[in-house]
Amino acid sequence: MHIRQRIVFATIIIALLAFILIVVYMTDNITEGAQLPSGDSITLQSSDITDISPVSTDESNVTDLIDASTEPTETETPDTAGPDNNPPPTEVTNDDDGFIVYHTDSSDIARGSLILINSANYYSPPEDTGFVFIGELKTPHYRVSAPDMLLSGMAIDPLNEMMEAFYDHSGLDNVIVRSAFRDNDSQQQVLDEYIRDVGKTEALKWASPPGYSEHQTGLAVDFGIYRNGAIERFDGAGTYTWFAQNCHKYGFILRYPQNKTTVTKTAYEPWHFRYVGHPHASMIKNKNWCLEEFHQFIHEYSWVDPYKTEIDDTLYAVYFTYNTTIRIPEQYGYMISGTNVDGYIVTYITGPDE
């Protein structure tokens, strides 16, 4: 009887093994049949990219330089994702040399006020864009061409401050933001209109294909002049030269200067202003750079030997790193921005003896 039980048990085991082999065989055939035929591929077009929706209208998180004294301890993760658009560190530690060490993710390269987008550098926006509605948050002395126009949350306060300063200077409130954030479809529409008007070769000097336009970051604004119910071209002349001369005080730069077209590969656009933040806008203004030249310059400096500059009686240290591990002196305010190309630009307040 004991031997018979063993035979029954062995028979059951063999049956189970056979069943498992049959299932594995069928699964392999199903998987093989689901593959694309040889030579076929799937190509994603720009229209396949999901449009970006606003995620926040809360200005409380909008910062430029973050006070390091308020940074969380080693066991916490700072909440820097959101309207300020700075790269959120995935891990924060402290080393023995008095540095905060940020361990970011490589995808954070597309975040921050210093990202570089041009004809050579494609931009894929992060999911948490931190866009806000300009019409809901703007001050009284300028206009917007559409009530649902979006802008990066980190740029709305500086934009408002700049527009109020211009009004105080000139008494004029007829400047209108005619364009800010554009999604892929809107950017393609702008390019198509230029192509119809001036042809493709000339159009590409003025408008970029989807993915290569600063407008898709929400950090750029195009101005116009609102007069007699119509929007006229903003030429930056006369009273309006104030913007090119003073925008750096509010973290903006004239993105495509007339004397930098060979560097930017874009025609002179006196109406196009880009937010890069402090102190970088003043650095770019003082050195007579465009954004491409700023990036090229900062690439020569590391955390061991950062570039130091004094802006408005404050000494800043700025450096570039390819690494996702970022070192910052823990006693100072700082800002981290991806480049959208190859690494990060780190800026912190320092002192003459550092």
Phi/psi for 155 (5° steps) reads -100, -10
* Selection from 322, 299, 318 nearest residue 309 by Cα: 318
d(CA 246, CA 285): 9
b/e per residue, 310-325, with b = 16+ CB within 10 A?
A: ebeeeebbbbbbeebe
Q: Is the pLDDT score of 252 beyond 70?
A: yes
Q: Is the dihedral of CA 345, 92, 70, 330 positive or negative?
A: negative
pLDDT tens-digit series, residues 278-303: 999 999 999 999 999 999 999 999 98
What is the rounded average pLDDT of the residues 160-185? 97
What pLDDT score does 328 carry?
85
Confidence of residue 320 (pLDDT cuts 50, 70, 90): very high
pLDDT tens-digit series, residues 205-240: 888 999 999 999 999 999 999 999 999 999 999 999
Q: Is the pLDDT score of 28 beyond 80?
A: no
Q: Is the pLDDT score of 6 beyond 80?
A: no
pTM for this prediction: 0.74
> Percent of the chain beyond pLDDT 70?
71
d(CA 135, CA 139): 9
Return the HEC string of the chain: CHHHHHHHHHHHHHHHHHHHHHHHHHHHHHHHHHCCCCCCCCCCCHHHCCCCCCCCCCHHHCCCCECHHHCCCCCCCCCCCCCCCCCCCCEEEECCCCEEEEECCHHHHHCCCCCCCECCECCCCCCCCCEEEHHHHCCCCCEECCCCCEEEHHHHHHHHHHHHHHHHHHCCCCEEEEECCCCHHHHHHHHHHHHHHHCHHHHCCCCCCCCCCHHHHCCEEEEEEEECCEEEECCCCHHHHHHHHHHHHHCEEECCCHHHHHHHCCCCCCCEEEECCCCHHHHHHHCCCCHHHHHHHHCCCCCCCCEEEEECCEEEEEEEECCCEEEEECCCCEEEEECCCCCEEEEEECCCCC
* Selection from 154, 77, 171 nearest residue 115 by Cα: 154
What pLDDT score does 256 carry?
97
Catalytic sites, residue numbers: 269
Confidence of residue 107 (pLDDT cuts 50, 70, 90): confident
Residues 6+ apart with CB under 8 A from 297: 287, 289, 307
What is the rounded average pLDDT of the residues 49-53? 25
d(CA 83, CA 60): 9
What pLDDT score does 13 carry?
63
Confidence of residue 96 (pLDDT cuts 50, 70, 90): low
What pLDDT score does 334 carry?
87
What pLDDT score does 8 carry?
54
What pLDDT score does 20 carry?
57
Joined together, the tokens standing for residue 274 give: 């880009």
Decide if 66 contacts 335 (C-beta within 8 A).
yes
What pLDDT score does 129 carry?
78
Q: Is the pLDDT score of 105 beyond 90?
A: no
What is the rounded average pLDDT of the residues 307-332? 90
Confidence of residue 81 (pLDDT cuts 50, 70, 90): very low
What pLDDT score does 196 carry?
93
Instruction: Compute, in degrees rounded to 10, the torsion defined by CA atoms 253, 255, 256, 259.
Output: 40
Phi/psi for 232 (5° steps) reads -100, 165
Q: Is the pLDDT score of 65 beyond 70?
A: no
Decide if 273 contacts 255 (C-beta within 8 A).
yes
Q: Is the pLDDT score of 70 beyond 50?
A: no
Joined together, the tokens standing for residue 298 give: 């900062």
What pLDDT score does 284 carry?
98
